[in-house]
Chains A and B, each alone.
Chain A
Amino acid sequence: DAGVIQSPRHEVTEMGQEVTLRCKPISGHDYLFWYRQTMMRGLELLIYFNNNVPIDDSGMPEDRFSAKMPNASFSTLKIQPSEPRDSAVYFCASSLEGEGNQPQHFGDGTRLSIL
């Protein structure tokens, strides 16, 4: 079975550039989550969607970050303009409908480096 697919796996770009991270969730999953992981702050939730609708974006650090889910099989996380402090590993995860008893399935992440 195909898991959650993220692209690119690695991205290196210069400060000020626009960065777009992509995610394909597991087919049939109703929820999609974007996380950021750093050594200092651990794994933090940025935003999550239910049936393509953003439900909670309180974790998005600032207006430079935006996320969309145009359909059930695709989501993007965009940073514009990017800054060195945005360097981190960004994960996408998906899960079935349900409460906290549903496990989340993670992709292998995008390692982002902003120079």
Chain B
Amino acid sequence: SQKIEQNSEALNIQEGKTATLTCNYTNYSPAYLQWYRQDPGRGPVFLLLIRENEKEKRKERLKVTFDTTLKQSLFHITASQPADSATYLCAPVSGSARQLTFGSGTQLTVLP
């Protein structure tokens, strides 16, 4: 069956450092992988999408990589700030699918 694993439920880092979050998937051949951010009491908010033929995608301080051989995506936040503290969710998506299946999320805390 399809499985999505995100690294450690919680990740604490110091302000200014780079946060790296991992999303591993099995029994999937996703054409896309989406990343979302969720704050307490709010719905998930879309951040970035990367396609299977893209190795890397950047948006401001965010960078996503996608390795279809390792079946893994890495999500980096550089120069992290306390405002980056949130739960981050990944969702690998098959090419024809409209629905998303989310990982369990990684709760990131950036300490001042």
Indicate whether A and B interact: yes
Most B-side CB within 10 Å, residue of A98, A102, A105, A107: A102
Contact of B32 among A45, A56, A100, A104 (CB under 8 A): A100
Query: B residues 8-61 with Cβ under 8 Å of A?
Result: 30-32, 34, 41-46, 49, 51
Question: Given contacts A103-B46, A104-B46, A109-B43, are A95 and B102 in contact (CB under 8 A)?
Answer: no
| Residue pair A100, B95 in contact (C-beta under 8 Å) | yes
Question: Given contacts A100-B30, A100-B94, A103-B34, are A42 and B45 in contact (CB under 8 A)?
Answer: no
Question: Given contacts A99-B31, A100-B31, A100-B94, are A48 and B44 in contact (CB under 8 A)?
Answer: no
B104 beta carbon closer than 8 Å to chain A: yes
> Which residues of A sit under 8 angstroms from B104, Cβ to Cβ?
42
Q: State the interface size on chain B (CB cutoff 8 A).
A: 26
Main secondary structure of the interface of A (DSSP, over half): strand
Contact of A33 among B45, B93, B99 (CB under 8 A): B99
| Interface size class of chain A, counting residues whose CB lies under 8 Å from the partner chain | 20 to 34
Query: A residues 18-41 with Cβ under 8 Å of B?
Result: 31, 33
Of all A-B residue pairs in the complex, the 3 with the closest CB atoms, nearest first, are: A100-B93, A106-B43, A103-B46
